[in-house]
Structure 1
Amino acid sequence: MEERKKIIIDTDPGIDDAMAIFVALQSPEVEVIGLTTIYGNVYTALATRNALHLKGTKLRIADFVHGTDGLGNQNFPPPEGAQIEQSAVEFLTEQVNLHPGKVTVVALGPLTNIALAIESDPDFVKNVQQIILLGGAFSVNGNVNPAAEANIFGDPDAADIVFTSGADILAIGINVTHQVVLTDADRDKLAKSSGKFAQYMCKILDVYFGYHHDAYSTKGVYLHDPTTILAAVDPSLITYVEGAVRVQTVGITRGLTLFYNKQKRFEEVTEWSDKPTVKVAVTVNGPAVVKLVMERLMNS
C-alpha cells in the first residue's frame, strides 16, 4: 500500500477552513500530523480553539464573513483537546526535519508561520516536500480590495519571503477557487445526509452563505480552503503554470501577487532577477472538487 502523504495544515478556522479540515481528516490518501494556527478569519487564540474543536469533532480579521466566533456564530462549548506547548514555527520545523522530503504544509491563512519557519531554520526549505498555499489573485481582482487577496494581504512581507524561498510551492489563488462553488442545492443535500461532518457544516454555513449572497450576489459559496486541501490529496484536480511570484508590500497595491512567466529575459538586474520558480494554479476541476467534498462530508 502506498504511504500516505503527511500534511500539516496551517489554518485560521474559519468556516471553509473547518470544511477543509474535515475533508482532510476523511481523506485516506493523507495523514494529518498536525494543525498549526494563525490569525486571519479570527484572532490566533480563537483560531487555535477552533482548530482544537474541529479536530475533536497588521491584523485583519474577517469575522463578518465567518461570524464573530469564526464558526458561524454557533458558540460551541470549549474543546476537549489541548494545544501543545510548542509554537507553530517550532512544530513545523521539527516535523519537517523529522520526516525530510515527506511533509507537505498546506497553508490556509496568512503565511506568517511559514515565513518564520523558513527564516528560523536553514534546512526547512530543503526538507519540506511541498508548500501548498491558498493565496493570491492572479490576473483577477482581490477579495479584500481590487489588488489583494485576503491571506496575502494579511502578511504580504511573509508571502514574499515564502514565494522567493526556493521551496517547492503551489499557489492556489482565488482566480481558481472562484471556479468551485457549493450551491444551495448542495447544502440541502448535506443537510439530508447522516454524516456527522455534513451536519456540523450545515449548522455553521448560514453566515457564510449570507456573506456571499451580499458580497457577490451568488446562491452558493466559494470553496477556497477545501480546494487547496484537495490539491494536496489529488494533484490531478488542478493545472498550473510555472514562474516567479513577487508580492507588493507597500502602497495602494499592498498584497498584490504578480506572476512573471520568465518568457522574456531582462538585461538589467532587478528585484525579479534570479528568483526561484513556483507553481501557480490556473484551472481546477470544480465539479470533481465539489463531488469529493460532498462525499467525504456525507460519509463521515
Structure 2
Amino acid sequence: MKLIYDCDNTTGLPQKDVDDGVALFYLLQQPEVTLLGVTLTFGNGTLAQVTAQTALLWQQFGLALSTYPGHEKGQVSTTPSAAATFMATQVRLYPHEVTILATGSLANLAEAAEIEPDFFELVHDVVVMGGRFDRLLVNHHEVAELNFSVAPAATRAVFESQVPLTVVSGQYLTTAVMDRSFLKQHLAPAHSENQRWLQSALFAWMDTMQAVGGVDGFINWDGLTALALCQPAAFTFTTQSLDAAQCDWTTGLIAVTEATTKRMIRVMIELKDLAALNGELITALNKA
C-alpha cells in the first residue's frame, strides 16, 4: 500500500493530543505500508505548532521521513503549499495506487484538487478520521468535532468528490478509551531516552484528559483509524448514502439518507475487540 499520512501531529506538546504520533509509529511498523511522505495540516494545533512538534519528534526518534507542510488556517496564498504539491505529484506518479490517511483538517486534500483537477480521480482511496452523526459525548460531556469543522469548505470538497471514501467518525469511538491502567500494564519499561520522552508525552496527555473530561486515559482517535485502514477485519463497516444538503460541515455533521444517491461513503461503525486493538498500538509504541 502506497500511503500518504496527512496529519496534525502535536505529540509531546503540553495539553495537546498524542494520537497522530501513535498512528505514525503503528504505520511505520506495517510491512504492507510504503509511507511516501507525511503532510502536515492544522487541527490539534496551529500549523506552526504541528510543524515544529513534528520536527522535534523526527529528531527525537531519528526518523528519515520527508514532511510537507500545508497552509495555516485562514492563510491566503497564491503559492501552492508543499503538502498539496506533494500530494498532487504523487498521485500523478502513481495513478490509482495512493491511499491518503487524513487525521486532521482536510485542507491539504482540497488544495491538491485545485492544483490537479483530476486529483480525486487519481487517488486510490481516502480514509478520514473525523465527523459526527449526532452529538459527540465523551464521559457524558459534549465535545466539539475538530477535524472536519476547522476547514468546512475543504471537507465539503472531499465529500462531494467521487473519491472512494472511508470515514472513521468520532461518533463510534467515544467509548474507545485506552485507560491508564491498561497502558501501565502493557508498556515496556522506559530504558531509553526515546521511550522516556514518549511515555512522558502519553501520560501528560492522560493527565489533561483527566482534568478536562474526567477520563483516566485517552481516546486514540487516529491510532484506531490507522488500524481500521490496515486491519479492516477487526472492525465493522457499513455503506451509507450521503445527504449532502443536510450536512453541516461547520460543525462536522455528516447526514445520511435511506435514499440511494450517487455519493456513497463507507463508515466504520464498530470495533470488535478494543483491548486487542489497544494492545496492537502499545506493541507499536514499545518498538518505537
TM-score, normalised on structure 1? 0.78
The answer on whether the counterparts of 1:118 and 1:165 sit within 8 Å (CA) in structure 2 is no
User: Where in structure 2 are the equivalents of 1:12-51 lying within 5 Å?
Assistant: 12-14=8-10, 15-51=18-54
Deviations along 1:275-295, one digit per CA (max 9) or x if unpaired, are 511112111232232011011
Partner of 2:203: 206
The answer on whether the counterparts of 2:132 and 2:145 sit within 8 Å (CA) in structure 1 is yes
Other structure's SS at 2:131 match: coil
User: Where in structure 2 are the equivalents of 1:140-289 lying within 5 Å?
Assistant: 140-141=135-136, 148-188=144-184, 189-190=186-187, 192=189, 198-242=195-239, 243-244=241-242, 246=244, 247-249=247-249, 254-261=250-257, 263-264=258-259, 274-285=261-272, 286-289=274-277
The answer on whether the counterparts of 2:188 and 2:286 sit within 8 Å (CA) in structure 1 is no
Partner of 2:120: 125
> Whole-Å Cα distance in 1 between the matches of residues 99 and 193 of structure 2?
27
Unaligned runs of 5+ in 1: 58-75, 266-273
Unaligned runs of 5+ in 2: 11-17, 70-80
> Whole-Å Cα distance in 1 between the matches of residues 67 and 90 of structure 2?
16
Partner of 2:286: 298
Deviations along 1:232-267, one digit per CA (max 9) or x if unpaired, are 211222222222154414xxxx32322313x236xx
The change in CA–CA distance for 1:102 and 1:196 in structure 2 (over 3 A counts) is: farther
Give 1:215 deviation, angstroms. Answer: 3.2
Partner of 2:13: none
Deviations along 1:31-82, one digit per CA (max 9) or x if unpaired, are 211000011122212312322333444xxxxxxxxxxxxxxxxxx9x99987
| Identical positions, percent | 25
Is residue 103 of structure 1 aligned with residue 98 of structure 2?
yes
> Whole-Å Cα distance in 2 between the matches of residues 83 and 220 of structure 1?
29
User: How many residues are matched?
Assistant: 263
Alignment-mate amino acid for residue 87 of structure 2:
L
User: Where in structure 2 are the equivalents of 1:82-101 lying within 5 Å?
Assistant: 87-101=82-96
The change in CA–CA distance for 1:197 and 1:293 in structure 2 (over 3 A counts) is: farther
Deviations along 1:173-194, one digit per CA (max 9) or x if unpaired, are 1122224221112332325265
The change in CA–CA distance for 1:221 and 1:116 in structure 2 (over 3 A counts) is: same
Alignment-mate amino acid for residue 52 of structure 1:
A
TM-score, normalised on structure 2? 0.81
Deviation >3 Å, runs of 4+: 78-86, 145-148, 193-200
What is the RMSD of the two structures over their aligned residues, measured on CA atoms?
A: 2.8
The change in CA–CA distance for 1:279 and 1:80 in structure 2 (over 3 A counts) is: closer
